[in-house]
Amino acid sequence: MTTAPLQLGTRGSTLALAQAGYVQERLRSLGHEVELVRIQTTGDVSTAPLESIGGTGVFVTALREALLDGRVDLAVHSLKDLPTAPADGLVVAAIPEREDPRDVLCARDGLKLSDLPAGARVGTGSPRREAQLRALGLGIEIVGLRGNVDTRLGKVADGTLDAVVLARAGLARLGRLDSVTEALDPMQVLPAPGQGALAVECRTADTALVEALSALDDAATRAAVTAERTLLAVLEAGCTAPVGAYAEAAEGEEGLELYIRAVVASRDGSVSIRKSATGSLGGAEQIGRDLALELLADGAGAVVDAGGPASKEE
Ligand SMILES: NCc1[nH]cc(CCC(=O)O)c1CC(=O)O
């Protein structure tokens, strides 16, 4: 069989290339020829705060355009950057097994969160991280931060900041786990819905490719992130404050069950509402939806976030 190599669209950042390279290798091991195609996005070109240029969706739009106009056959995204609304003509054909989704602290001198002195400067551009860190009441100062992983870690190395908070998954994919001084306990800081997972997207009409990509799909990860993202979608319709959520498959009395925890917090940390639920792996959407409705019934809709709707962005 002679088929043209699959064209895999990716952003050009080191992290994006590492993620695309992972998918490329998995497809190669299944016998597919795959070439990487770099697509530049507004989010890569601009250094303005994400909230002011349309949020994390800017990373995704250019890749989706390349899929829809046929420049590429598949695209790899960080699932947490993918808007919850489905895109016309496109399908997330594979969600591979996720990395450890926790946020981590990368601090000077090996410090952990509880070692940071009052007034310590901690960098993050994520309202979700900011809200949950403030809610801990440690008296640390949150400093806004953007840029790639190297830029962010550099602010600790050069002494500008005492620490930064990042996704462990990104550091793992870049081989930078040596910078981590503490993995944050989800009891204190819940990750973004979908954090640590990849989404492999292609055209719905490309049925042979949809079928081929399904070999990369991990059922437990898909169930977990489906619950997290359904929760996010329901909350997006009903509140403006940042959302954290983490679902995992765990052995329960009835076999494998999905256990999900979620938080809605005001950016200043003064209010945070946390709830959890368990259910069957097959009922992921319903678990996510029900938990979101419970959070709203508990007042999540009234948690005011000064940043407005776009502030949910990571
Ligand atoms: N916000 C950008 C972004 N999108 C995905 C990751 C990391 C990889 C992942 O979460 O899957 C990061 C960096 C970070 O939040 O530290």
What does the pLDDT look like over 103-114, one tens digit per residue? 999 999 999 999
* pLDDT in the model for residue 52: 66
Between 219 and 3, the more confident residue is 219
Domains and CATH numbers, the chain: 6-96+198-217 (3.40.190.10), 103-183 (3.40.190.10), 224-312 (3.30.160.40)
Please state the atom number of ligand 1 nearest to the C-alpha of residue 125.
1
* pLDDT score of 54 more than 80: no
- Please state whether beta strands 255-265 and 243-252 pair in parallel, antiparallel, or not at all (unpaired): antiparallel
Active site members: 81
* pLDDT in the model for residue 105: 98
Q: Cβ(167) to ligand 1 under 6 A?
A: yes
Query: Which residue's alpha carbon is at the smallest distance from atom 7 of ligand 1?
Result: 170
* pLDDT in the model for residue 1: 45
Among positive and negative, which fits the CA dihedral 125, 128, 129, 130?
A: positive
Please, which residues have CB within 8 angstroms of residue 271's CB and are 6 or more apart in sequence?
A: 265, 303
* pLDDT in the model for residue 310: 47
* pLDDT in the model for residue 43: 65
* pLDDT score of 99 more than 90: yes
Rounded to 10 degrees, the C-alpha dihedral 153/155/245/215 comes to -30
The tokens describing 250, both together, are 């765990």
Q: Cβ(63) to ligand 1 under 6 A?
A: no
- Per residue in 123-159, pLDDT (tens digit) is 999 999 999 999 999 999 999 998 889 999 999 999 9
Ligand 1 mutation target, pool 195, 228, 229, most atoms within 8 A of CB:
195
d(CA 116, CA 45): 34
Please state the atom number of ligand 1 nearest to the C-alpha of residue 99.
11
- Per residue in 253-306, pLDDT (tens digit) is 888 899 999 999 999 999 999 999 999 999 999 999 999 999 999 999 999 776
CA of 212 to the centre of ligand 1 (A): 26
Secondary structure of residue 53 in the 3-state scheme: helix
d(CA 203, CA 63): 12
Query: Which residue's alpha carbon is at the smallest distance from atom 2 of ligand 1?
Result: 314
ipTM for the complex?
0.96
d(CA 234, CA 26): 33
Percentage, residues of the chain above pLDDT 70: 92
Average confidence score pLDDT of the chain: 92
d(CA 161, CA 154): 9
* pLDDT in the model for residue 51: 60
Q: Out of 56-65, 77-86, 137-146, 286-295, pick the least confident.
A: 56-65
- Predicted structure pTM score: 0.93
- Per residue in 197-212, pLDDT (tens digit) is 999 999 999 999 999 9
Secondary structure of residue 186 in the 3-state scheme: coil
Query: Which residue's alpha carbon is at the smallest distance from atom 5 of ligand 1?
Result: 78
> Would you place residue 6 in the very low, low, confident or very high pLDDT band (cuts 50, 70, 90)?
very high
